[in-house]
Amino acid sequence: MEEKQILEGRQGEVLDSKRAEVSSTSKKLYIESYGCQMNFSDSEVVAAIMSKKGYNTTRNIDDADVVLINTCSIRDNAEKRVRNRLTEFKKKKSDNPDMVVGILGCMAERLKKSLLEQEKLVDLVAGPDAYRDLPNLIDEVGTGQRAVNVLLSRDETYADISPVRLDKGGVSAFVTIMRGCDNMCSFCVVPFTRGRERSRDPQTIVQECTELFNNGYREVTLLGQNVDSYRWNITNKGEIKDPNLPTVNFAQLMEMVAKVSPELRVRFSTSHPKDMTDDVLHAMAKYENLCNYIHLPVQSGNSDVLKRMNRGYSREWYLQRIEAIHKIIPDCAISTDVISGFCGETEAEHKDTLSLMDAVKYDFAYMFKYSERPKTLAERKFEDDIPDEVKSNRLSEIIDKQLKFSLASNQKRIGLVEKVLIEGESKRSNEHMCGRTSRNSMVVFPKGNGKKGQYVNVKITDCTSATLIGKEIN
Ligand code: SAH
Ligand code: SF4
Ligand code: F3S
């Protein structure tokens, strides 16, 4: 149960589905998203592509002409959840045979036509780089065919598409800055489902952030699987592509976005320990609106395991990166991802993960049991030899430790005044508001003068391991 709570809202097969809403008399699209923030962001691109073809989104599946499910393959249970959902959709379709059911995202890319042909669960399959083709694919289904496009692209970034925000009246939005991943972490399916890494034109990113700001948004999260390797007009060998155009790296991009407005908070996800440069940290230190929060997935605290994971850094390197963060941005919150029970993990190697957590004292962590994924390097090279019970026990030890650090991290804020961006009413009580600090901590406080989308000062008076509790002050 605890794992669920902690995983909520992250690369999360757990509790992450979200339904779209915009209604109209025209054709209706229902879209449900699972997985990481990138998938939620992609669903907004899909809604934009479909709206050009006359589809408005609906929150009621029974009204829909087209039902799309944007899926995740990161762990086996992520796929199981989607399969259950598809079986439910199949029942709906038997009552309404004209309804088109399509699968998008990473599971579509991984399983390709088998979902159509062998399993007959859907009418349409579109991979992450094929969304511009959705209107054609839907037409094909209309002519009685089963439609598939799972081509991966080297240059598609949907840069020109202005996403339809599915979270209406929002304060915070995702902005995709790059797609795909060129790292080959041995446990990870993403390079197979998302293809090669490519960066989006920085001008279109700044433009999208400016539009969001003008529409009342006050926070953007720049998304990529490895944002530190963002590069524009530079090849992966470091050569300049067009000498007449400027080059842009991630630190420079962050500055460009920071300058949209000092009132616009900027976050990003995900940093990679092997690529995160001091430049990025210096940019964060320089601009108040570049939030003091870094998600730096460690995966394991043991250098041999990290080697088997093909992560490209050692325990020592990782700890040096943590030191650099503390030095350059003294009040920066740090979170991580940890995997328990990777192939061949000994008890001593697991203990190294625990001791690394003791050394870093993360403010927050997402913690997972290793789940073998087809075609990955680990599947081909190593045996998934840690018994499930051992994986679970190790995960519990990791979670127990993290809960203590999360609580301690929040307790340290008691007595401080935090600048909070109000996201809206608290989910648990309509007499309270909630919002986040620069360090990404959720704060709940009784309603005062502050409205959704405004910054207020909140004096922290109490906390749990997940939430700060306080009182608005002038
Ligand atoms: N590109 C990002 C996100 C990758 S997926 C990054 O590098 O951090 C998010 C997290 O899921 C990973 O950090 C990892 O902790 C976890 N994960 C990925 N594959 C997994 C697998 N096969 N089993 C268990 N956890 C996995
Ligand atoms: Fe997967 Fe590694 Fe790429 Fe992250 S950096 S998406 S873990 S291959
Ligand atoms: Fe899942 Fe694909 Fe994201 S596998 S975590 S939805 S990139």
Cβ 220 under 6 angstroms from ligand 2? no
**Residue-level pLDDT at 4:** 28
Phi, psi of 290 (to 5 degrees): -85, 110
Please report which confidence band the pLDDT of residue 117 belongs to, taking 50, 70 and 90 as the band edges: confident
Report yes or no on whether pTM surpasses 0.85.
yes
Q: Is 439 in the pocket of ligand 2 (CB under 6 A)?
A: no
Cβ–Cβ < 8 Å for 272, 283: no
Please, where in the chain does CATH 2.40.50.140 lie? 417-473
- Asked if residue 118 has pLDDT above 80, the reply is no
pLDDT of residue 22: 47
The percent of residues above 90 in pLDDT, for the chain, comes to 88
Nearest CA to ligand 2 atom 5: 183
CATH class, range 169-291: alpha beta
Q: Can you spell out the DSSP letters for 99-165?
A: -EEEEEHHHHHHHTTHHHHTS---SEEE-TT-GGGHHHHHHHHHTT--EEE----SS---TT--PPP
Ligand 2 atom nearest the C-alpha of 226 is 5
Fold of 417-473: OB fold (Dihydrolipoamide Acetyltransferase, E2P) (2.40.50)
pLDDT of residue 361: 98
pLDDT in tens, 223-272: 999 999 999 999 888 899 999 999 999 999 999 999 999 999 999 999 99
E-strand spans in 275-396? 293-295, 333-340, 364-369
Delimiting residues of CATH 3.40.50.12160 domain(s) in the chain: 2-149
State the pLDDT confidence band at 168, using cuts at 50, 70 and 90: low
| 296-310 per-position pLDDT tens digit | 999 999 999 999 999
Domain with CATH 3.30.750.210 in the chain: 169-291
For the chain, what is the mean pLDDT?
93
> Which pLDDT does position 23 carry in this prediction?
45
Query: Measured in angstroms, how far is the CA atom of residue 169 from the centroid of ligand 1?
Result: 31
The CATH H-level superfamily of 2-149 is: Methylthiotransferase, N-terminal domain (3.40.50.12160)
In the chain, % of residues over pLDDT 70? 94
226 lines ligand 2 (CB under 6 A): yes
pLDDT of residue 268: 98
Specify whether the CB–CB gap between 255 and 231 falls below 8 A: no
Q: Whose CA is nearest to atom 1 of ligand 3?
A: 72
